[in-house]
Amino acid sequence: MTESRVWSNAVLPTLGVIIAVTLWWLATAVFHIDPFYVPSPADVVETFFRTPGFLLQESWITIQRVLIGFAVAVTLGLVIAVVLGSSRTIERMALPVLAAVNAIPKVALAPLLLVWMGFGDSPKIVMVILVSFFPVIVSTMAGLTSTPADLHELARSLKASWWQTFVKVRLTWALPQVFVGLKVATPLAIIGAVIGEVVNPDHGLGSVIAGSSANSDTALAFVALVLLAVIGVVMFYLVAGLERLLVPWAKAISS
Amino acid sequence: MTESRVWSNAVLPTLGVIIAVTLWWLATAVFHIDPFYVPSPADVVETFFRTPGFLLQESWITIQRVLIGFAVAVTLGLVIAVVLGSSRTIERMALPVLAAVNAIPKVALAPLLLVWMGFGDSPKIVMVILVSFFPVIVSTMAGLTSTPADLHELARSLKASWWQTFVKVRLTWALPQVFVGLKVATPLAIIGAVIGEVVNPDHGLGSVIAGSSANSDTALAFVALVLLAVIGVVMFYLVAGLERLLVPWAKAISS
Amino acid sequence: SSSDDDKGTTGSAGGSGDLKKVTYVTAFGAVGRDAFAWVAKEKGFFKDAGIDVDIQKGAGNVQNLTLIKSGQAQFAALDFTGAEIQAGTGKFTNWRAVAAIHQQTLVSIMTTADTGITKPTDLAGKTVATATGSVSELLFPAYAKLAGLDPKTVKLTGAQSTALNGLMAQRKVDGLSTFLLSKKALETVSKKDVVVMPYSEFLSDLFGNAIIANENLISSDKDLVKKFTDAAMKGLQYSLDHPEEAAAILHKAEPTAAEPAAIGEINAMKPYVSSPNGAPLGHLDQERVARSIAILQGNGLMPAGLTPEKVVDFSFIPAS
Amino acid sequence: MITIDAVSQTFKGRSGPVEAIRDISLTIGEGEFVTVIGRSGCGKSTLLRMIAGLLKPTAGSVTVAGSPVREPRRDVAMVFQRPALLPWRSVEDNVMLPVEIFGWRKSEYRPRAEHLLEMTGLSGFRKRLPHELSGGMQQRVSLCRALIQSPKVMLMDEPFSALDALTREELAVELQRIHMDLGTTIVFVTHSIQEAVLLADRVAVLSSRPGHLRRVVEIPIPRPRTFGHNAHMEQVAGISAELHTLLLSDDHLQASPQT
Amino acid sequence: MITIDAVSQTFKGRSGPVEAIRDISLTIGEGEFVTVIGRSGCGKSTLLRMIAGLLKPTAGSVTVAGSPVREPRRDVAMVFQRPALLPWRSVEDNVMLPVEIFGWRKSEYRPRAEHLLEMTGLSGFRKRLPHELSGGMQQRVSLCRALIQSPKVMLMDEPFSALDALTREELAVELQRIHMDLGTTIVFVTHSIQEAVLLADRVAVLSSRPGHLRRVVEIPIPRPRTFGHNAHMEQVAGISAELHTLLLSDDHLQASPQT
Ligand SMILES: Nc1ncnc2c1ncn2[C@@H]1O[C@H](COP(=O)(O)OP(=O)(O)OP(=O)(O)O)[C@@H](O)[C@H]1O
Ligand SMILES: Nc1ncnc2c1ncn2[C@@H]1O[C@H](COP(=O)(O)OP(=O)(O)OP(=O)(O)O)[C@@H](O)[C@H]1O
Ligand SMILES: [Mg+2]
Ligand SMILES: [Mg+2]
């Protein structure tokens, strides 16, 4: 039992990562890819260990921005989804505007943010929010409108207030779908932070990428990308873990 | 009946857009925002009508790239989700890799794509795919694992093959959630095309943005952004319309 | 020079607690050509001048001009020719150059030896990649005409600047139009000899990078601008004199900046920094500025009407 | 207590309308126990949902305790045909749901919830989630959830359908006790004629779709009644036979959803 | 046909194990009709799911037609306690699902589907979606879905629980006819003792949780039997009383999920 859980929760993922890294290695070796374009895993590791402290510090800055922005985006996304879900009129009016805003490439707005908010953390955090709130809205809305008719009727028959129905029935039922939104939003949040940091490379992995590409130091850029990937995986699994914790029943009633 | 449908499907969304544009207008007027930073809607409309033919043509190029890339991304996303959904082992191994790949900012890969694939449509289409396939995977997987236990048991009791269970039960049940993924992926696909076009501005709205920002022609850039937003809204509602067509039952069994 | 006096006055007046805070934006990221700012900071030149400088990494002319315009930054380095065009077309007018970093434009055509291209006329019928909307792209027709090449015979392809070297190395294009300081990087990537054809051969009146300041700041605190410019120039001189130390300082402040590359760049830009007529560092010759404007206007890059005073505040220019 | 006045209900389905209920009028006094029988699909659940205020009649009106029903009331509890349990709540928490929603003091009602669970034989399953229960156990949880409300009116839609004969009898005894102790007005849909007779003051017999009131039969057996296999043998047999014929006199199972 | 050999089932629940079935052995001959009764939660559905191959016994084994059951078989059809209809398929398409899955010719089976729907009084609802049906109607659709398979073995988990007395009787007649015509082996879980007696060759009585086989009672009423309210009055009454006592002799509804 526990052995098979270790197997599937630790060994298999690790194996997957190892296979992926090996493939990368083989690709660079077999096709003789110039390390300028794609450095080999060894180059990347070596480059990392040239300045591990610096890189981890920059990672930490990016992580903080991502976390703050993500938290705001999720809160905002949930609130907007709830507001849209509470009134069909508002939904009909606001959804096209949201879809429009979301289709605008945020990179194009980065200079504006810089002008308005200057340097520092805020424009990056705002970028994280802009990039990652929409999936939360869409998936939460889908979740909120998927309450089974009989549970909804139960709430009505108890004359539960809108808020009670929302908290005790609709939101809980929507949680598995909310988590889909969160899982999609996590990597977007990371990308948002990087966009903000590339536009104004003060700190963080985005500024490492900007700096290394200005120096055509591809290996360093790849180190930053790998660190971002690691952050992405960790955050993804944190979200997935939270889901397990909060929605254990969902697995039980489905197959 | 039909009147209220016109109301909620046409009048309200239009109203929402009008309100949003009015707010934009008011903001530029009341805060005396320099049109260099944010041009007013009037400026944008005027700029559009200076070269409507050219802009529509570039839009069409972007739309084509988005559509092709999106179609591939959706197909790919569905296939990957199905493969991951069919084997727990594969899922456990591949998911972290996918999450990692997805957290890598695609903008950083754009130069690589350019070097590998040269100019033309392919690197842009590939960018569309890279940016938009992940939401489809995550949401489809969530949908596929949400089949109610009794429907799954029914399929088992009929000794339906894996494929039959998949097509006749799991996939159909997952459709509402697949559409969440599609709705999230649509705007990402558009953004992907723009990223590709900014990196190698040959044609398309991305190249309009790249050109206009080099010329600091903010009004033109905003025209391109507005056109992208329009494309985004239209695609979003096309997807939503398709959902209505394919999953009418979902609304009926929920509230 | 006069900076010694300044150091005395401000130093005694306020001490470190009273430093004036300003933001300076580099031309592009943190590379050798911009190292002097960090050197000036590290060596205490700014502090001695009573200024606390926040150095931000720039991302090209438009963004830097925007930051100056919006007041987010007080000083910036940028490509002066590009900035002139922006001013001439009326886009950004609230800035003045206060010192030149490069007396000659750094824009050039670069290609690898295996293409067989050795002179501008060889480019006929070839494809050249350049950053979209960059000065390189804008100046190309003027350069080509002067070099005896019909610009229409060359196919210019836009690409993100970070992709240029790769495109050349893979021979997706036959040449690049970009800053000549990236020669070393191209050599590394392509592992071939690199042929450089600087625009300055034919467009000798164009400047390279310059330091600009916000117009309002110039009128409100002339003294600050002066002190800043002087300190920056001190940093520039120091960098030229001690490329290794400058590169080390840069690397320490911005670990992504590779030291060898920075040293190479500082050495490579040396010839372009000193004034042709022996004027001090940073000099902006009014006549050359006027001629450069005339070239830009003559090539249809901007309408008539721009005068040197609108882009340079000559009161700061170290006299020749 | 409940006045059903010329109520009709027609559903607008995808493929044409379905007339479910046609012109039913019935008055149920305070504290009365009325059972409703009728063939499957005749509109019993629909009728109950209209009384509960969950569904607006397409014609006619329903009055409960003097005021017309426009929305659900908190003194009316409903036991649905399907258990409708919240899958993430334990058995106990599902039962406590109305208490939470009504804003009652939880600590006060927890002993009552425990008592109800014990009465329905579920006390060992207090902490289990619904999917760990058998069908009949889920139904009992939903019953407890209605009983904890101590409502004035209880609408019960086949509440014992998934229970075995003995549990049915035990719960019927309890239900009668509650009915008599608290004076609850009960409308009880069942498919068991015997159950209908043993529980009710009056049995309402609906015809097949569209359901209309075929007859209301008084049950003159004095209370408290005994339940169980052989309870009130003769009387029950007689009335059962009558009800049976009543149901039978209806056409055979109907084939068309339209009128 | 079916051999149940010392089968036990213990569920590993979140909060401790639940012993549902303990050591049941039973052999059911080909063409035999066995009904299973027992108190709610005693493990009847669990037993059926083990015979169907949907659930592996934690101990013991089940054999159908000579081969040990490890997975579901196509000649064994199951009617679930809950209808389990696909919400996006019309009534007709839900009934045709097994035909599609078995790869049978649809055109050949469509008349049969129509016949079954008519028999269960649903022909007017062919094109409707499940959510437009009443509870009993849904149950009948799921019954049709099992019958269209013409299986050798039919496992039926309270298939008539949501049906009114008359429909039950009508369908009981049909079921007996099918049983006799096709020689189908049927295991039928019910809560109605009378139904258990009237339908079965033998009635298996399970004890309360953990369910074990208390007794198997032979029903000596000759076939074809008549169904209905007063069918085989005396015999049914006698055996019913016996079964009633058997069930009653069990402890009162149990309180703990553990052994
Ligand atoms: N998935 C499960 N996890 C834990 N316990 C379960 C699970 N399924 C069933 N049980 C337990 O097994 C026992 C028997 O359940 P089963 O559904 O077989 O009862 P049943 O005889 O069909 O009852 P009913 O007549 O109410 O349908 C119950 O106590 C139930 O709580
Ligand atoms: N949402 C709906 N849309 C369309 N028709 C409906 C809907 N709900 C119920 N009906 C129809 O109304 C009729 C009555 O349904 P109802 O559920 O009230 O029957 P019932 O008497 O409770 O049956 P059962 O005993 O089977 O539960 C049925 O013919 C059903 O098809
Ligand atoms: Mg009903
Ligand atoms: Mg059961």
Q: What angle do CA A130, A134, A135 make, to 5 degrees?
A: 130
Q: What is the residue-averaged pLDDT of chain C?
A: 86
Q: Do E80 and B150 touch (CB under 8 A)?
A: yes
Cα separations in angstroms, A244 against A143, A249, E16? 17, 9, 20
Nearest residue on chain A to B237, alpha-carbon basis: A96
Rounded mean pLDDT, C7-35 = 71
How far, in Å, CA of C187 to CA of A142, rounded? Answer: 54
Residue B229, pLDDT score: 93
Rounded mean pLDDT, B184-201 = 89
Secondary structure class of E204 (helix, strand, coil): strand
Interface test with B, best of E75, E78, E86, E156 (most B CBs within 10 A): E86
Q: Is D136 a pocket residue for ligand 1 (Cβ < 6 Å)?
A: yes
Evaluate whether residue B43 is within a structural domain: no
Evaluate whether residue A198 is within a structural domain: yes
Residues A145, A149, A151, A152: what is their CA dihedral angle, to the nearest 10 degrees? Answer: 60
Q: Is the pLDDT of residue B157 over 80?
A: yes
Evaluate whether residue A2 is within a structural domain: no
CA B80 to chain centre: 18
The CATH number linked to A111 is 1.10.3720.10
Shortest distance between the Cα of E66 and any Cα of chain D, in A, equals 30
CA B201 to chain centre: 21
Question: C235-283, pLDDT tens digit by residue?
Answer: 999 999 999 999 999 999 888 888 888 898 899 888 888 877 778 888 8
Rounded mean pLDDT, D24-51 = 93
Residues B91, B94, B98, B100: what is their CA dihedral angle, to the nearest 10 degrees? Answer: 120
Residue D231, pLDDT score: 75
How far, in Å, CA of D140 to CA of D138, rounded? Answer: 5
How far, in Å, CA of B17 to CA of A96, rounded? Answer: 7
- Residues within 8 A of A (CB atoms), B 27-46 only: 37-38
For residue B251, report the distance from its CA to the centre of ligand 2, in Å. Answer: 18
| Chain A residues within 8 A of C259 when measuring between CB atoms | none
Of the pLDDT bands very low, low, confident and very high (cuts 50, 70, 90), residue C319 is low
Question: D102-133, pLDDT tens digit by residue?
Answer: 999 999 999 999 999 999 999 889 999 999 99
Subunits with at least 3 CB pairs below 8 A relative to chain E? B, D
Residue D258, pLDDT score: 44
Secondary structure class of C96 (helix, strand, coil): strand
Atom of ligand 1 at shortest range from CA of E47: 18
Ligand 1, atom 30: closest residue by C-alpha: D133
Domain region containing A90: 51-254
Question: A112-126, pLDDT tens digit by residue?
Answer: 888 788 888 888 999
Question: C137-156, pLDDT tens digit by residue?
Answer: 888 988 998 899 998 999 98
Assembly ipTM: 0.87
How far, in Å, CA of B63 to CA of B70, rounded? Answer: 10
Burial class (CB in 10 A: 0-12, 13-18, 19+), A185: buried
pTM for this model (two decimals):
0.89
A/C Cβ contact: 3+ pairs below 8 Å: yes
Q: Is the pLDDT of residue C6 over 70?
A: no
How far, in Å, CA of D76 to CA of A119, rounded? Answer: 61
| Chain D residues within 8 A of A153 when measuring between CB atoms | 49, 54, 80, 84
Atom of ligand 2 at shortest range from CA of E139: 26
Residue D254, pLDDT score: 44
Helices (H) and strands (E) in chain E, counts: 7, 10
How many structural domains comprise chain B? 1
Rounded mean pLDDT, A238-254 = 88
Q: Do B158 and E72 touch (CB under 8 A)?
A: yes
Of the pLDDT bands very low, low, confident and very high (cuts 50, 70, 90), residue C17 is low
Evaluate whether residue B177 is within a structural domain: yes
- Give the number of beta-carbon pairs within 8 Å between A and B: 229
Rounded mean pLDDT, B31-47 = 86
Of the pLDDT bands very low, low, confident and very high (cuts 50, 70, 90), residue E257 is very low
Secondary structure class of D32 (helix, strand, coil): coil
Residue E142 near residue E84 (C-beta atoms within 8 A): yes
Interface test with C, best of A49, A215, A218 (most C CBs within 10 A): A215
Residue D221 near residue D32 (C-beta atoms within 8 A): no
Evaluate whether residue B209 is within a structural domain: yes
Instruction: Kindly tell me the sign of the dihedral angle through the C-alpha atoms of B200, B206, B212, B214.
Output: negative
Of the pLDDT bands very low, low, confident and very high (cuts 50, 70, 90), residue B2 is low
Q: Of the candidates E238, E250, E258, which has an alpha carbon nearest to the alpha carbon of residue E39? A: E250
Nearest residue on chain E to D248, alpha-carbon basis: E166
Rounded mean pLDDT, C79-102 = 90
How far, in Å, CA of E174 to CA of E167, rounded? Answer: 11
Evaluate whether residue A73 is within a structural domain: yes
Of the pLDDT bands very low, low, confident and very high (cuts 50, 70, 90), residue D63 is very high
* Residues in Cβ contact with E148 at an 8 Å cutoff, skipping those fewer than 6 apart: E95, E96, E98, E99, E109, E112, E113, E116
Evaluate whether residue A1 is within a structural domain: no
Helices (H) and strands (E) in chain A, counts: 13, 0
Q: Which residues line ligand 2 (CB under 6 A)?
A: D 11, 13, 18, 20, 38, 40-46, 81, 209; E 132-137, 162
DSSP string over C53-70: EEEE--B-HHHHHHHHHH
Shortest distance between the Cα of B9 and any Cα of chain A, in A, equals 7
Ligand index nearest the alpha carbon of residue D164: 1
Ligand 2, atom 1: closest residue by C-alpha: E132
Of the pLDDT bands very low, low, confident and very high (cuts 50, 70, 90), residue C320 is low
- Give the number of beta-carbon pairs within 8 Å between A and C: 74
Cα separations in angstroms, D227 against C15, C128, D194? 100, 98, 10
Of the pLDDT bands very low, low, confident and very high (cuts 50, 70, 90), residue B88 is confident
Residues of A with CB under 8 A from a CB of D: 150-151, 153-160, 164, 168-169, 172, 247, 249, 252-253
Atom of ligand 1 at shortest range from CA of D136: 26
Of the pLDDT bands very low, low, confident and very high (cuts 50, 70, 90), residue A76 is very high
Q: Is the pLDDT of residue A84 over 80?
A: yes
Question: b or e along B204-240 (b: 16 or more beta carbons within 10 Å of the residue's beta carbon)?
Answer: bbbbbbbbbbbbbbbbbbbbbbbbbbebbbbbbbebb
Question: B222-243, pLDDT tens digit by residue?
Answer: 999 999 999 999 999 999 999 9
Q: Is the pLDDT of residue A170 over 50?
A: yes
Evaluate whether residue B34 is within a structural domain: no
E/B Cβ contact: 3+ pairs below 8 Å: yes
| Chain A residues within 8 A of B133 when measuring between CB atoms | none
